[in-house]
Amino acid sequence: MNLLSGRAKEETQFEKMWVQFLSLFSIFLYLSNGEVNPGPVVQTSYGELQGFTINLENGQEANIFLKIPFALPPIGNLRLEKPKAPEKWQGTLNATSFGPACIQHGRQTGYTDVSEDCLHLNIFAPHEKPTNPEKYPVLVWVHGGGWVAGGAVSHGYSGLANRFVTHGIVVVTIQYRLGPLGDERFPGNLGLWDMRAALKYLKKNIANFGGNPNKITLMGGSAGSASVSMLSMSPSTRDLFEQAIQISASPFAEWTTSNRVIAETDKLAEQLGCKMKDSLELKRCLKNKTVDEIQDAVEVVGTSRYDLNVVLFGPRLDADFFPNDYPDLIKESPKKPTMLGMAAEEGGFFTILGLARSLNELYIPKDQFKNYKRNKLVKFIRNIVAPEIAFGEKKAKEAQNKIIDFYVNKQVPEEPDYKFWLQRYTQLFSDIGFNIPILKEVQYKREYDWPVYLYLWEHFNPENFEKDLPIKGAFHGIEYPYLFDFFLTGKFEFDENDRKVQKLFIDSIANFVKNGNPSTDNMTWPPLDKEHMFRHLSLSTMKSPQAVVRWYDAVRWHRTKFV
């Protein structure tokens, strides 16, 4: 725990800055979403909705509907229960402002407008009625945040509308319960059941907004990406949509699936005075606690752990939502076209940026960067990556030695500085937390004949980072500015390379949503096959504008460095 000492003051200052940034950013989203015009009224299965219309950058218009209830508020006796279908309402419901985010796991996530009454979705659709009788294809975004933080408001509507509605796509963003209110031991996986409720609502109602209920693509980032994969496998949800886009996470990572949530539920319950053996009595006790009481208890027990599995409350294999393990579910599930990828330096978001601090304990504070040396990396491997308590003494030493040999001893310069060791630390967490689990999922899906399109995002703009940051690269979340106008580290101006990478990525996603194939007019993107198990599209640019053009016109293919 030496890596974590002496940083409480920095944590407090950082969390305050992050809260202020997200609050100001949310205000900016409302003020910058384009010219607003009176919008149409849409009839749904539950009642009428009044939205509004905005002008898009290309001269088109989009209809915007916000805070659409897809389930009853999970409050009172419905807390800690599976979602129930919404009730019908009289009159016309105002759908012109975002609803609150779900209760976060802890008070320091940056979201100040939160509520248990949060099971809403938002729809952004072309204003022009579809000429195709099958209507517009639908793209559903599942936000990330480690199942403990996040909300739809952060992604706004202007960026998504200008990116995808202009392509003739209906876009939907959803919310789901988080932390101990969304993932605990009874029945568990409530956040995933909420996603199911949202999909069932869309199957029933999206045609009223111009969307095709039989052409739904799910797209998610980070925990949202792992969730999309889980939804594509579970018998409870896999028939509710047709395609998947997974950005930077897989359920094969330890942090995405763990039965440790059972013990964490008991710890939190004990802190709340609900230490009861009977699950029904325990649930009743937790239902009677206020949100403030729960948040007070969270502050005592913590929001994450110093471990490769940083998430305290997340999904688990429960014999209900998941009646089998993941490989068997992949084998028996419908073979959905899947676009799946990772960033080149995923771990940097956690190891040296330290963003979303309520999610992890792996961050090295800035004032300790220069103190990070070989011995600290070795200690991390021995105590956290491959500890004796998990492997047993003999196997632990064998695993430790192999990991140390690969990440610590190979290709070391004569006088490595702290930047070198921070890079190796970042590479290690990138591989364990993201790259290897993603490629494991790719292997299974390819083995069982899923159409898989793999990519590696390598491009980054140095202006996205502080000048003195020891490592710069394509970190976790690098795609967000290009998808949503959502800048995790502060807004930067796009250069020519940014715009070209963005165009390729957006065009590929749009084509995939429409046709099940991400190829564009300038680039053929083949799916994986048994001869090319890890062939992937590399989204990278070089300093020379001519090189960028050549890359863009003729995408370079190679076997991934992780094989």
Q: Which of 405, 418, 347, 416 is nearest to 376 (CA)?
A: 418
Q: Which residue in 358, 329, 149 sits closest to 251, CA to CA?
A: 329
Residue 343 lies in a domain: no
Q: What share of the chain is helix, strand, coil (3-state, %, to 5)?
A: 40, 15, 40
Looking at the structure, tell me whether residues 207 and 240 fall in a common domain. Answer: yes
CA of residue 25 relative to chain centroid, distance: 19
Q: Are residues 294 and 208 in the same domain?
A: yes
Active site amino acids: 222, 346, 476
Do 358 and 313 belong to one domain?
no
The answer to whether residues 96 and 70 belong to one domain is yes
Last residue of a domain, one of 314, 338, 362: 338
Residue 195 in any domain: the answer is yes
Q: What integer pLDDT is reported at residue 518 of this predicted model?
A: 96
The enclosing H or E element of 41 equals strand 36-43
Any residues with CB less than 8 A from the CB of 144 and at least 6 apart, and which? Answer: 150, 220, 221, 222, 223, 224, 225, 249, 477
CB 463 within 8 A of CB 493: yes
Tokens of 169: 């796509």
- Clarify whether residues 353 and 334 are in a common domain: no
The Cα–Cα gap between 556 and 559 comes to 10
Residue 181 sits in the same domain as residue 111: yes
Give yes or no for a cis peptide into 187 (omega within 30° of 0): yes
Give kind and range of the element (H or E) at residue 481. helix 480-484
In whole angstroms, give the CA distance from residue 490 to residue 70.
33
Q: Within 13 Å and on the Cβ side, how many CA atoms surround 537?
A: 25
Q: What is the pLDDT along the chain (563 residues), one digit of tens a residue?
A: 232 233 333 444 444 444 444 444 444 444 444 455 667 999 999 999 999 999 999 999 999 999 999 999 999 999 999 999 999 999 999 999 999 999 999 988 888 899 999 999 999 999 999 998 999 999 999 999 999 999 999 999 999 999 999 999 999 999 999 999 998 877 789 999 999 999 999 999 999 999 999 999 999 999 999 999 999 999 999 999 999 999 999 999 999 999 999 999 999 999 999 988 888 999 999 999 999 999 999 999 999 999 999 999 999 999 999 999 999 999 999 999 999 999 999 999 999 998 776 777 899 999 999 999 999 999 999 999 999 998 999 999 999 999 999 999 999 999 999 999 999 999 999 999 999 999 999 999 999 999 999 999 999 999 889 888 999 999 999 999 999 988 888 889 999 999 999 999 999 999 999 999 999 998 899 999 888 888 899 898 754 333 332 233 223 333 233 22
User: Can you say whether the dihedral through the CA atoms of 461, 465, 471, 473 is positive or negative?
Assistant: negative
Domain membership of residue 481 (yes or no) is yes
CB contact set of 69 (below 8 Å; sequence gap of 6+): 46, 86, 119, 120
Q: Report the CATH number that the domain containing residue 259 is assigned in CATH.
A: 3.40.50.1820
Our measurement of the distance from residue 520's CA atom to the centroid of its chain's CA atoms, rounded to an integer in Å, reads 25
Judge whether 12 lies within some domain: yes
291 falls within a domain: yes
Note the helical H segments in 179-290: 179-182, 190-205, 223-233, 260-271, 279-287
Whole-angstrom distance, CA of residue 385 vs CA of residue 408 = 13
pTM of the model: 0.90
**Is the domain of 478 the same as that of 430?**
yes
Q: What domain range includes position 254?
A: 2-157+164-338
Looking at the fold, whether 142 and 192 belong to one and the same domain comes out as yes
Amino acid residing at 366: K
Domain boundary among 309, 338, 367: 338
Cβ atoms of 350 and 140 within 8 Å: the answer is no
Do 378 and 433 sit in the same domain of this protein?
Answer: yes
Closest CA to 225 of 330, 140, 143, 323: 143
For the chain, the straight-line distance linking the first and the last C-alpha, in angstroms and rounded, comes to 33
Rg of the chain over Cα atoms, rounded to whole angstroms, equals: 23
pLDDT at position 359: 78
Between CA 415 and CA 373 the distance in angstroms is 11
Residues 288 and 395 in one domain: no
Q: For residue 236, list its beta bridge partners.
A: none
Predicted confidence at residue 560, as pLDDT, reads 32
- Closest Cα to residue 510, out of 219, 249, 242? 219
Which residue type does 499 have?
R
As a whole number of angstroms, the distance between CA 465 and CA 366 comes to: 14
Cα–Cα distance, 405 to 427 (Å, whole number): 14
Helix (H) or strand (E) holding 54: strand 48-55
How many domains, in total, are found in the chain? 2
Q: Which two tokens stand for residue 18?
A: 């992050």
Is 191 within the bounds of a domain?
Answer: yes
Please tell me whether residue 38 adopts helix, strand or coil conformation: strand
Neighbour-count burial of 221, counting CB atoms closer than 10 A to its CB (0-12 exposed, 13-18 middle, 19+ buried): buried
Do 64 and 123 sit in the same domain of this protein? Answer: yes
Question: Of 305, 338, 371, which residue constitutes the final position of a domain?
Answer: 338
3-class SS letters over 295-326: HHHHHHHCCECCCCCCECCCCCCCCCCCCCCH
Q: What is the 3-state secondary structure (H, E, C) of 56-118?
A: CCCCCEEEEEEEEECCCCCCHHHCCCCCCCCCCCCCEEECCCCCCEECCCCCCCCCCCEECCC
| Domain shared by 300 and 399, yes or no | no
Residue 382 lies in a domain: yes
Residue 10 lies in a domain: yes
